[in-house]
Chains A and B, each alone.
Chain A
Amino acid sequence: MAPKRKLDNGKSSSSKAQKKNGSNTESSSALLSTDEMQNLVDEIIQSSKYNNLVPLLGQYEVIKTEIASKKNDKVETAGRRLSLSLFKAFQHLLKEGHLVAKKSYDDNRKLVVKWLINKYDSFKDIACDFIQTRFKYETSLQLDLLEIVLNLIRLESQYLKSGSNDLFFPNITYKKLCEALLLSKSGEVLSDGSSDSFLVLEFIEKFAANWDLQFYFINNLNEVLENWKKTKTDEELRSIFSKFFTIMKGPLLFTQEVDELEKQQTWIQRKLPSIAYKQSQFKTQYQKAFLQILSYPLSVPQYKSILLILHKRIIPNMAQPQSIMDFLTDCYNISDDPVIPILALNSLYELMRKYNLEYPDFYTKLYSLLTPELLYTRYRSRFFRLCDLFLTSTHLSANLVASFIKKLARLSIGSSASGVVITIPFIYNLLKRHPTCMIMLHNTEASKDEDYVDPYNNDEVDPLKTDAIHSSLWEMETLMSHYHPNIATLAKIFGEPFRKHSYNMEDFLDWSYLTLLDSEKNRRYKTMAALEYEEFDHLFEAKDEKKVYAEGWTL
């Protein structure tokens, strides 16, 4: 395993380090030399001089102050060696059973054990403290300590259990580590709301593969998360969320089948207590943790990123997915950023479909999402896919569908080419599916009416009351003369018989100026590019009164 490898490295490098001893001690006077450290540890292991632990643990103070301010490779390597040695010492103590107080021990012995446990705990605390602290730079020492704590968890599960047949997971130690990780000040919150902390990233590697780490992570955190919400500032909470999200965004090993769950790999490499395999326990804890973390004050990108994975990753693992409804409703109602409601749609749809959720005024809300920005957001394809789904039912009232059609048409006359490319086939499909709305394209009755006035009310929020069905799609007629030849041709379908069954929306959702231009690049030069025959005397504004191309502009 990894720690052993490090052990070997330590041994091989120690001989080299010995030669540089002198210089080492000069630079950091309080720091013990490698030899001294080695001696102290050897004494602990071989001759039970437990008092040596005190100076060794004291070293961390020095190291912390040294590297907190500036980059110091020597101190760091010394720290790494120290950590390794101490790990070895405690490993020895654990294996020998010196950290377990047996009833048969006399008082003195118990006192020693207690003292040793105390030292052991303080070692773990120091490690967690290092993980939590942010240094000037990303130290390998922190990584080492993370690994050491994880390895200690493994050792503890083996040697600290009360009976030889007991199933034991060192929950307290692991909880400490988890808290330290979440509180860790290392790393920045990225633009997508996750964290780039190297410790977290290192931890995820182990986390993703082992079921016990996942289960106890979820299981332990509820209370702490709640406490933090009360005590921490918004900024800190966002940082915590970012780490939590980073850890949890990957797929979990959780499955519905208990048998398969029991076969999953574990970090402690033995069977877990039965609680870890209980479906309901995990789901409840998971739900609690998530509801708690989602109630944190999140930033907009964090909303976006959690919503992106919510319906696929998170909802299926919850005991009562309905409980997330409040969160989603909140998201859906956020109006600062049009993207968040769009993203919340997916999860809402999932809840409605699978868990029979009732959402009042759903279509009104959906209608309110039709904003000019919608046609430009990155998530427009996501929205239109869902919207297509929501408007599939033939039982929707014609008024409602007509409102959507009219609104989209209205939006498209101010939209970019990519938006227009979506709306045209979308409206076509809607018209094809709801033939009653064809009156918006072909209304012979009303066109004879002398006093006809367009009844559509653009400001009406309720799609049932806009009266769009009595309006007409002049916008689409205008788009028939769109500047892009293909879009203009596409818009002309409204003037032709509706013979095509429907357009496949996927072909139209992801166009952009770049892709439009790319398709132009592939064209071959066939005939002469037509030239302008109109003559201009000047390109730019000049003093004389001649014909100018760019009127009102000079170079």
Chain B
Amino acid sequence: MAGSQLKQLKEALKSKGLIGQTNIKKKNKKSKTPSETRRNDKQEVIGEIRDQFNQFDHRINRTKHDVTIIQGGKFVKLGSKQHNDATRSHSTAQKTMKMQYDLEKSSKGRAGGMVDRRFGENNKHLTAEEKMLERFTRERQASSKKRSVFSIESDNEDDDDLGGFTLTHSGKALTLDDEDEMGLPEDGLGSSITVRYVDEDQLEAEREQEGQPARKKTKKEVMKEVIAKSKFYKNQRQQEFKKAQDDIMDLDDDFGDVMQELGTVQQPRVVIKPKTAEELEYDSKVRELTYDRRSVPADRTKTEEEVKKAYDEKMKKLETDRLRRMNGLDVDDRAAEGDDLDDEFWAGSDEDEQDGFALKDSEEDREDEGSSEEDEEETATTGTRFGRTLAVKKQVVSIPSTHDDFVNSLKEIEEERQPAYVKKIVETYKPNLAEGNKERMNVFVGVLFEHVLYLSNQETSTAGSSSSTLLEQLMEIIKKLSESYNQVLVENIRLEINEIQERIVNDSIVKRDLVFFVFIGYLFSTSDHYHLIVTPTVILMNQILTTVVYSKDTSVSQIGRGLFVADIMLNYQRFSHRYVPEVVNFLQKAMLLLVPEATKIPQESRGSLFSTSNIINSSKISISKSEKFSAYNDSNVTLSISQLFEDDESAQFKFNLLVKSLYLVDKLASLWKEKSALIEIIEPFIVILKHMVKYYATTLPQIATILNKLVKIKTNLVKERKPLTLQHHRSLAIATFAPKFEENFNPDKKSYDINRERQELNKVKNELKKERKAALKDIRQETRFVAGQQIAEKKQMYDAYHKKMAHIVNTISTVEGAEKNEYEREKKQRKNKK
């Protein structure tokens, strides 16, 4: 089309034959031209043209490329109006929507839903009161309506005549007519209800009796009967159930009385005959048999080799355990450890007695049992009562709870028998023998340890060796107890450690403290890397040594005690070879103080000494040069601990101490021969020994040997020792930050989230979004369609109406016109007739 809008309009109108020449012969009849006769056609055509010219109503889908497709056998430009219309009207979705709509429309108002027919329910202008009033009047009117005289329906059908209109409340009819009906709910009795329902059979029979023919029942009547019947039966059932319930209640009420009655009635007594002695004996034998021990194969006696092998294995295990502890590897608890120590001490007795049998009772026990039979009788009675014979021994010894008690109880016993006495206490109060024994033994172990220290603190003037053996025997017992009463022992020792510490600070150590160190070494594994008891003890010992080293004026006895502590310290380290600087320092000071004329040690060799010259110069206790001593060949000298507390200042004692320190120098040199700093450790001793040799070459021949040994060690070490290479470490890689490549990277994929869960979550979220959009789109489309459909329907309806009206007007005007024509004709004729 070309030209202006006006021209286009003219063209269009002309082509439809609305303007211009109207009587042109049509070349092709296809184009619709408004006929003269049908006015509507003209309107239709004009409407079409109007639509065509209204550009705003056009929907155009713009396409990027000019594509033409074949649609419905025609070439259609993609996105053009024709294409759009066609696709829209022909799409399957459109069709289904149409179908859906039609279905809904056809079923609307027919299926499903509820019609509220209550009067005035939807009337907003009525109040609740008014509604109720209105409903009531309506009902009354309905009921009072006079039936038609000719109605065939009988009176009893009056319910129906209300036209289905009754007042109800929660589904029940409200009527004011029957007073009895109103009273029903309150009474709750079935008797009156039965009156209400009519037995239909009876009714029929009556009717037959009356001779009237059985009228064919209407469907409504039949249904009514059925309902009435079922209601009737239901009611009957309910009545029965209620009655049964009442009966049960009555019975329950009476139950108490009945039982009371029953109680008073005498029962016939069952006579139990007393058992005869034989029977009793039999019973007891049967009972005993149940406790009889099952015969089990005895443990095979091991051969000598096996025993040896087992022992070796045990020792090996202990050794490895010790090594692990020494290296500080062992941190877990060692539950099995304790059992390894002494299997023989309380051999076998434990399990036996737990079963109530003493198979391997010692001689002593038998004697005990024999001597105290009366006691046994007593225990036996109690024993048999529980069907079990406990071997309860008479407790001839009493367990002391404090140390004083213990000392008192020991007074009467000779020293030789004391260990046996203690053993007996331990045996008598074994925890499995009686309740509370465990606690008593816990206390006793503490008391025993205290007693050992107490004994060691005593003056040994009476009998040195015997008290020493007593001490050792008691210690042996403690050692055996130490695994089962470990915690108590440890706690006691820790208390003792605190006390000793105080004494060290106050510089008032006593003999028992020194003996204590020996005990610790004897009881506990001193090679451990860390040990709850040994570590603090070692600290204490070093504290003693250090106070000696740094005190301004050292006494001879202090040196003696220090030597003892140093010796025990080296004993502690005999296995682990740990280095103790304090011992070295102390020994050196001790020797410097004791040797005669320390000032004569050449100045140039003093540099290696740990202590500076003021010790040398200030020594007041050195042995004077002039003293002569008898030759002493033994490497070690035996000293007594009590001597260390006697403030013995004699030259002989000093000399002995010197010998002792020589022995210690030798000991430490061999103990620490592995240490790389051994040169520095022994160098000061070499200096001192060189000095000593001048004085005691004859009296102490071992000086020369030790000196030789030390010098040899030194020269060897100086040659052998190489600088340290402690820092051989695996070189550490520098952290790299190279980019990471994704193996199967796909640029099409939307996300590369490493976190799988998050990725899936995002996926679901996206889907949801899409679905939501689609659903909204659908809903919109549907509503648009429905709206369009409704408009179309309405248009159709209006069109139909207008058509109808036009038709009617046409017919009337046609008839009228015909009549008018008739009239005109008639008039003409009459005129003509005239």
Which residues in A have some Cβ–Cβ distance to B below 8 Å? 336, 338, 371-373, 376, 410-417, 420, 438, 440-444, 446-447, 449, 452-454, 458-459, 471-475, 477-479, 481-485, 488-489, 494-498, 513-514, 516-517, 520-521, 523, 525-533, 536, 538-543, 549-555
Q: Which of B623-672 contact A (CB under 8 A)?
A: 636-642, 660, 663, 672
**Can you sample 17 A-B contacts with CB below 8 Å?**
A373-B550, A441-B727, A449-B722, A454-B679, A459-B607, A483-B542, A485-B535, A488-B529, A517-B501, A525-B490, A527-B333, A528-B486, A529-B524, A540-B468, A549-B522, A552-B663, A555-B468
Interchain CB contact (< 8 A) of A414 among B325, B490, B610? B610
B538 touches A551 (CB 8 A): no
CB distance from A30 to the nearest CB of B (A): 52
Specify which of A371, A482, A520 lies most central, judged by the most chain B CB atoms within 10 Å of its CB.
Answer: A520
Chain B residues in 8 Å Cβ range of A371: 612
Chain B residues in 8 Å Cβ range of A372: 585, 610-612
B483 CB–A CB distance under 8 Å: yes
Interchain CB contact (< 8 A) of B567 among A416, A438, A528, A552? A552
- Docked Cα-Cα span, A14 to B619, in Å, equals 64
**Size class of the contact patch on chain B:** 35 or more
Known: A485-B535, A529-B486, A531-B524. 17 other contacts (CB 8 A): A376-B549, A416-B581, A441-B727, A444-B725, A452-B721, A477-B726, A483-B569, A483-B573, A485-B529, A529-B524, A530-B524, A531-B482, A531-B523, A531-B525, A552-B637, A553-B638, A553-B640
A517 touches B607 (CB 8 A): no
B518 CB–A CB distance under 8 Å: yes
B401 CB–A CB distance under 8 Å: no
B724 touches A443 (CB 8 A): yes
Chain A residues in 8 Å Cβ range of B522: 532, 536, 539, 549
B725 touches A555 (CB 8 A): no
CB distance from A523 to the nearest CB of B (A): 6
A517 touches B539 (CB 8 A): yes
Stretch at the interface among B335-343, B355-363, B416-424: B335-343
B724 touches A474 (CB 8 A): yes
B487-499 CB contact bits vs A (8 Å, 1 = yes)? Answer: 1011100100110
Chain B residues in 8 Å Cβ range of A478: 579, 672, 675-678, 681
Q: Say yes or no: A474-B677 contact (C-beta < 8 A), given A517-B501, A531-B523, A554-B638.
A: yes
- Docked Cα-Cα span, A211 to B619, in Å, equals 52
- Docked Cα-Cα span, A56 to B518, in Å, equals 77
B718 CB–A CB distance under 8 Å: yes
Name the residue on A nearest B588 (C-beta). A414
B577 CB–A CB distance under 8 Å: yes
CB distance from A496 to the nearest CB of B (A): 8
B546 CB–A CB distance under 8 Å: yes
A440 touches B724 (CB 8 A): yes
B101 CB–A CB distance under 8 Å: no
Specify which of B467, B549, B612, B724 lies most central, judged by the most chain A CB atoms within 10 Å of its CB.
Answer: B724
Chain A residues in 8 Å Cβ range of B519: 539
B465 touches A542 (CB 8 A): yes
Q: Say yes or no: A482-B579 contact (C-beta < 8 A), given A416-B546, A529-B486, A532-B521.
A: yes
A514 touches B722 (CB 8 A): no
Name the residue on A nearest B613 (C-beta). A335
A484 touches B531 (CB 8 A): no
- Docked Cα-Cα span, A543 to B528, in Å, equals 31
B539 touches A474 (CB 8 A): no
Interchain CB contact (< 8 A) of B525 among A410, A526, A533, A554? A533
CB distance from B243 to the nearest CB of A (A): 78
Chain A residues in 8 Å Cβ range of B576: 481
B697 CB–A CB distance under 8 Å: no
B573-607 CB contact bits vs A (8 Å, 1 = yes)? Answer: 10011111110110010000000000000001001
Interchain CB contact (< 8 A) of B723 among A412, A446, A458? A446
Name the residue on B nearest A439 (C-beta). B723
- Docked Cα-Cα span, A371 to B606, in Å, equals 13
Chain A residues in 8 Å Cβ range of B242: none
B546 touches A414 (CB 8 A): no
Q: Say yes or no: A555-B724 contact (C-beta < 8 A), given A413-B581, A484-B535, A530-B525.
A: no
Chain B residues in 8 Å Cβ range of A442: 724-728
B456 CB–A CB distance under 8 Å: yes
A520 touches B585 (CB 8 A): no
A528 touches B334 (CB 8 A): yes
CB distance from B565 to the nearest CB of A (A): 11
- Docked Cα-Cα span, A482 to B576, in Å, equals 10
Q: Say yes or no: A484-B538 contact (C-beta < 8 A), given A459-B604, A553-B567, A555-B467.
A: yes
CB distance from B505 to the nearest CB of A (A): 7
Chain A residues in 8 Å Cβ range of B518: 539-540, 549-550, 553
- Docked Cα-Cα span, A414 to B302, in Å, equals 54
Chain B residues in 8 Å Cβ range of A444: 725
B521-549 CB contact bits vs A (8 Å, 1 = yes)? Answer: 11111101111110110111011001001
B680 CB–A CB distance under 8 Å: yes
A458 touches B579 (CB 8 A): no
Chain B residues in 8 Å Cβ range of A472: 723-724
